[in-house]
């Protein structure tokens, strides 16, 4: 079964669960209607919980079987009623998303009714097919790319971001419909990315495959120039993100023949010397897609300045669409420990502003959402990221409220960007040229900012 059909099954059984629980509502007070695990609860767990709650994943317990779930019935009730689970930070008032992880009221009711009753197992014949996880992967891989050697990791102190080249030398052009990155050492891998290095790129030209290069080393740094920068972000890992599906809109990611892969690793020292060897699984399609699915880092506030002690510092970033036929498909904000909330506004070529995404921020959960429908971004659209930061003592995660904070890779620095995925014409050779830094992105480091006032000033001079 392909991953896509697994997802589809999930959607169908999910809908079934909604109907089942509506039936319960209709017959409330009728003692003969019982919500059972097999018929009503398991479909909800398959669709909403098992990506994280299965062996080897980040959920603290497995929610695959009745035996596994039964002891957690009351805890599940509490977690879903408080909306602590599944983790979701998106404000439902803005935009429509395919998977914002929020449970429907009907699904919550199913879980709560079951927990409040005697949490019965029900009839075995009502049980849906188990969701198939192949060897832990979120789909059946066509290719697995593994780091060629163990990366040694120090016991303590800071580990700068590391880049690791894997000479894949793709034998032909490939359209990738799904990617899944898995850490070799779950404790030590904080998050990671797999980037495509197309043939002819000078990025990490002299690197020895498998060796970890410190990205703070200027000769190896991920340069921002197009010649140096990897072409596309092929996959991401952070806890709970799961496999990424690029096929939602008859779309796929393109990897040109001769490409290599660069793993970009953020490791954390875990108190003892250890090693990591992470892997990337890919699923291909032979059918040329209607759209190329292209990802970048979105608007980035390299010029951010957050004063010491600031409680609610606004920081604004900007990226413009400079070509026709670009659609937005996916949104995943990124900040560090001082982040509070994040919003995406679009300013149309005629100057109208509209918020299309809003969420609160929790550093532990770096989740993204697929748009329900791809959103056309006419040439000249300005994509604005608006974030707030708490650099005061009131933020219990704040590493140092006395410090002025600038852009940087470590957790005690900050970032303000948003991974975005776009649907573009598959014939376009270099989609990075469809975008340009404009407006506030071009401002020098201010103190503090850049802010919405600075954005308004750039609009006024247009
Ligand atoms: C994106 C990953 C993810 C998804 C999806 C997810 N969980 Fe969790 N869950 C976790 C992690 C990680 C923890 C432990 C850390 C925490 O409590 O935040 C957790 C903890 C829990 C706990 C213990 C809560 C506590 O207070 O100790 C319950 C119960 C739970 N999850 C139920 C669910 C249910 C039910 C669903 C689906 C409706 C679900 N989870 C979906 C990752 C996930």
For the chain, domain boundaries: 3-126, 143-289, 296-460
Ligand 1 pocket test target in 86, 187, 239 with most atoms within 8 Å of CB:
86
* Matching fold, domains 143-289 and 296-460: yes
* Ligand 1 centroid to residue 374 C-alpha, Å: 29
Average pLDDT, the chain: 88
Separation between Cα atoms, residue 60 and residue 43, nearest integer Å: 20
Strand pairing report for 260-267 and 189-197? antiparallel
**Whose C-alpha lies nearest to ligand 1, atom 19?**
59
Separation between Cα atoms, residue 13 and residue 39, nearest integer Å: 10
Separation between Cα atoms, residue 389 and residue 449, nearest integer Å: 11
Collapsed DSSP state (helix, strand, coil) of residue 407: strand
CA angle 382, 385, 389 (to 5 degrees): 160
* pLDDT score for 230: 59
CA angle 330, 331, 332 (to 5 degrees): 130
Peptide bond into 328 cis (omega under 30): no
| Residue 283: C-alpha distances to residues 99, 262, 292 (Å) | 21, 18, 15
* pLDDT score for 227: 38
CATH number, domain 296-460: 2.60.120.230
CB–CB of 419/332 below 8 Å? yes
Both structure tokens of 83: 């909306």
* Ligand 1 centroid to residue 366 C-alpha, Å: 15
Ligand 1 pocket test target in 73, 77, 85 with most atoms within 8 Å of CB:
85
| Residue range 143-289 in CATH 2.60.120.230 | yes
Ligand 1 pocket test target in 14, 21, 42, 52 with most atoms within 8 Å of CB:
52
* pLDDT single digits (tens) 66-123: 999 999 999 999 999 999 999 989 998 999 998 778 899 999 999 999 999 999 999 9
**Whose C-alpha lies nearest to ligand 1, atom 42?**
59
Query: Which residues form the pocket of ligand 1, taking CB atoms under 6 Å from any ligand atom?
Result: 48-49, 51-53, 58-60, 72, 75-76, 79-80, 85-87, 103, 240
* pLDDT score for 229: 56
* pLDDT score for 461: 67
* Ligand 1 centroid to residue 122 C-alpha, Å: 24
CB–CB of 417/296 below 8 Å? no
Separation between Cα atoms, residue 357 and residue 204, nearest integer Å: 36
Element holding 105 (H helix, E strand):
helix 105-116
* Ligand 1 centroid to residue 86 C-alpha, Å: 6
* pLDDT score for 462: 57
Q: What is the DSSP string of 212-257?
A: EEETTSTTTS--SSTTTS-SEEEEEE-TT---EE--TTSEEEEE-T
Q: Which residues pair with 285 in a beta bridge?
A: 175
pTM for the structure as a whole: 0.85
Both structure tokens of 401: 């409220």
* Ligand 1 centroid to residue 145 C-alpha, Å: 30
**Whose C-alpha lies nearest to ligand 1, atom 31?**
85
Collapsed DSSP state (helix, strand, coil) of residue 189: strand
Helices 3-26 and 105-116, axial angle in degrees (round to 10): 70
Separation between Cα atoms, residue 69 and residue 64, nearest integer Å: 7
CA angle 68, 178, 2 (to 5 degrees): 60
* pLDDT score for 2: 34
* Ligand 1 centroid to residue 59 C-alpha, Å: 6
Peptide bond into 13 cis (omega under 30): no
**Whose C-alpha lies nearest to ligand 1, atom 13?**
59
Mark the ranges of the chain whose per-residue pLDDT is less than 70: 1-32, 217-231, 461-462
Both structure tokens of 88: 């979701």
Both structure tokens of 384: 């604005």
Phi, psi of 327 (to 5 degrees): -125, 145
Residue 253's nearest CA partner among 295, 281, 299, 286 is: 295
* Ligand 1 centroid to residue 237 C-alpha, Å: 18
**Whose C-alpha lies nearest to ligand 1, atom 37?**
49
**Whose C-alpha lies nearest to ligand 1, atom 3?**
52
């Amino acid at each position: 079964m392909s991953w896509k059909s697994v997802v589809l099954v999930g959607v169908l059984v999910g809908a079934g669960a909604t109907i089942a629980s509506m039936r319960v509502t209709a017959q409330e007070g009728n003692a003969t209607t019982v919500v059972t695990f097999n018929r009503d609860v398991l479909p909800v767990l398959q669709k909403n919980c098992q990506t994280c709650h299965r062996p080897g994943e980040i959920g603290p317990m497995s929610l695959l079987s009745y035996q596994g779930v039964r002891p957690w019935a009351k805890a599940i009730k509490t977690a879903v009623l408080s909306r602590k689970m599944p983790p979701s930070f998106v404000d439902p008032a803005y935009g429509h998303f395919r998977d914002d992880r929020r449970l429907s009221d009907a699904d919550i009711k199913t879980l709560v009714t079951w927990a409040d009753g005697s949490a019965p197992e029900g009839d075995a014949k009502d049980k849906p097919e188990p969701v198939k996880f192949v060897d832990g992967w979120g789909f059946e891989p066509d290719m697995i790319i593994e780091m060629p050697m163990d990366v040694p990791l120090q016991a303590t102190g800071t580990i700068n971001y590391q880049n690791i080249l894997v000479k894949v030398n793709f034998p032909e052009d490939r359209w990738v419909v799904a990617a899944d990155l898995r850490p070799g050492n779950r404790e030590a891998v904080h998050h990671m990315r797999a980037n495509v290095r197309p043939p002819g790129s000078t990025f990490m030209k002299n690197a020895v495959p498998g060796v970890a290069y410190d990205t703070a080393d200027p000769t190896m740094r991920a340069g921002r120039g197009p010649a140096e920068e990897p072409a596309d972000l092929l996959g991401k890992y952070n806890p709970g993100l799961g496999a990424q599906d690029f096929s939602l809109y008859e779309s796929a990611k393109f990897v040109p023949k001769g490409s290599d892969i660069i793993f970009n690793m953020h490791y954390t020292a875990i108190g003892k010397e250890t090693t990591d060897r992470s892997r990337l699984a890919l699923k291909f399609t032979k059918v040329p897609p209607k759209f190329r699915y292209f990802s970048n880092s979105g608007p980035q506030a390299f010029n951010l300045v957050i004063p010491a002690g600031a409680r609610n510092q606004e920081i604004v970033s900007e990226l413009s669409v400079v070509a026709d036929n670009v659609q937005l498909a996916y949104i995943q904000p990124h900040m560090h420990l001082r982040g509070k909330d994040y919003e995406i506004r679009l300013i149309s070529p005629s100057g109208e502003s509209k918020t299309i995404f809003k969420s609160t921020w929790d550093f532990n959960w770096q989740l993204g959402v697929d748009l329900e429908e791809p959103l056309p971004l006419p040439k000249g659209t300005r994509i604005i990221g608006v974030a707030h930061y708490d650099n005061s003592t009131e933020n219990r995660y704040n590493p140092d409220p006395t410090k002025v904070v600038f852009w940087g890779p470590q957790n005690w620095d900050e970032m303000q960007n948003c991974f975005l995925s776009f649907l573009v014409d598959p014939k376009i050779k270099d989609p990075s040229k469809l975008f340009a830094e404009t407006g506030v992105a071009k401002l020098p480091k201010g103190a503090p900012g850049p802010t919405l006032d600075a954005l308004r000033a750039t609009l006024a001079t247009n």
